[in-house]
Amino acid sequence: MTSPLRHLTEAGLLGKFYIDGEWRKPIGSVAAAASVVNPATEQSIAEVTLGDDDDVDCAIAAARRAFAGWSTTPPAERAALLDRVHGLLLQRLELFAQVLTFEMGAAITYARRAQVPLAAEHIRVARDNLANYPFVTPRDSTAIMREAIGVCGLITPWNWPLYQITAKVGPALAAGCTVVLKPSELSPLSALLFAEVMDDAACPPGVFNLVNGTGPIVGARLASHPQVDMISITGSTRAGVLVAQAAAPTVKRVAQELGGKSPNIFLPDADLRRAVPLGVGAAFRNLGQSCSAPTRMLVPRSHMKEVETLAAAAASELVVGDPLAESTTHGPIANRPQFERVQTMIGVGLEEGAKLVIGGPGRPSDLKIGFYARPTIFSNVHRDMRIAQEEIFGPVLAIIPYDTVDDAIAIANDTVYGLGAHVQGTDMETVRKVARQIQSGQVHLNHPDWDPNAPFGGYKRSGNGREYGREGMEEYLETKAVLGFYR
């Protein structure tokens, strides 16, 4: 197989945007480029061109022209496009897996089994939901119509690059919207490959457009543009606030999937030998670079010692190293700023007096180059410590003791976030009762399988709106009531 970097170079995609069904060079007056750094080597592996307001305006105009036709296209035709996209993603799984490893350090085995296949699932779910969605329903003599909202600006992050693209593009196109995508400039290569998939799938011109660029320029222009009807952003809470502020004057819809500090409550009857290793694995999934990662493990005080032992054993099984090696379970942190953030917060945990169970600052001893972090677990963490309150976005787990179940629920909800949560226990009546009291958009009971149809989104500062499943598509629809329609 051709290297993804060679493929992108030979195809000439690194210096272009995908607008109106064509690969185009920037038209903006300000020429800029961003280096894509391989976090395993700390070396630049590619340069992508960054757009400005003129490039964004061109893409938005293309999306606006295409909207009337695409929004009235029969659902079966839209589903057929998504079916082709789904097939191409699976055909090119290895190409995408390798580029994700190069651009953001995902272990190749994890990219193959999670990052790419789960991304493809978002397209499949959008296709299947579209096939049977009731866009017009009767209510007495009134017709309730669900119609595409319009042109959508999609802003995606660096930690799950392809996965978050498909989580937005799939339902938006299914709903009948046209889109302009701005991927993260830190991991843009998979987005270019995705645009190539859209082109090869015969996406109609203007329905899908891509402009690389920074948040303060391309993202801000999308958010403020009067011809953009909706913005969907996945990113930090800070970025979500800025996007919402920029969007406010045009009163466009803003869907935000933002930060998190998810709790994992171990009830007194939890099966610790099963739940603790799974909890560590969930917290360190994607090296902890997941907004819903359960990085607060809430444990009965009497069980602390056993949980520490089990957690340390689970963390010691992780293999941090070359992300291209088949034996590696976890590669490097995706970029230097995030690596430095993780190191800072590990230092904060030590300064705050938390008990270091395993890990600590610096790279693993056998790794001298690369943004590698040691999987780190703190115990005896108090609920008001920074490591218990702030999103770290790395392999750092805080074990927090509690005395009663009510205390555990209070600690779980003692956060500005509310994106994900977990509950472990044997008595399902109690497990369900606790789940109902957690202020979070998703709650996982006893580590169930991932459900691509389960809506995902946040309470509080974790955002608003939902992605995935039927609710994810409905974010891109407006509701129209036509009275007297059925007389």
Taken in order 86, 89, 93, 98, the sign of the CA dihedral is negative
Q: Which amino acids are annotated catalytic?
A: 257, 291
d(CA 224, CA 245): 9
Q: Closest by alpha carbon to 149, among 76, 232, 230, 59?
A: 230
3-state per-residue secondary structure call for the chain: CCCHHHHHHHCCCCCCEEECCEEECCCCCCCEEEEEEECCCCEEEEEEEECCHHHHHHHHHHHHHHHHHHHCCCHHHHHHHHHHHHHHHHHCHHHHHHHHHHHHCCCHHHHHHHHHHHHHHHHHHHHHHHHCCCCEEEECCEEEEEEECCEEEEECCCCCHHHHHHHHHHHHHHHCCEEEEECCCCCCHHHHHHHHHHHHCCCCCCCEEECCCCHHHHHHHHHHCCCCCEEEEECCHHHHHHHHHHHHHHCCEEEEECCCCCEEEECCCCCHHHHHHHHHHHHCHHHHCCCCCCCEEEEEHHHHHHHHHHHHHHHHCCCECCCCCCCCCECCCCCHHHHHHHHHHHHHHHHCCCEEEECCCCCCCCCCCCCCCCCEEEECCCCCCHHHHCCCCCCEEEEEEECCHHHHHHHHHCCCCCCCCEEECCCHHHHHHHHHCCCCCCCEECCCCCCCCCCECCCHHHEECCECHHHHHHCCEEEEEECCCCC
Q: What is the CA radius of gyration of the chain?
A: 23
Q: What are phi and psi of 383, to 5 degrees?
A: -65, -25
Q: What are phi and psi of 358, to 5 degrees?
A: -160, 155
Residue 33: HSE in the Cβ half-sphere, 13 Å Cα cutoff: 11
Burial class (CB in 10 A: 0-12, 13-18, 19+), 396: buried
d(CA 430, CA 423): 10
d(CA 205, CA 19): 8
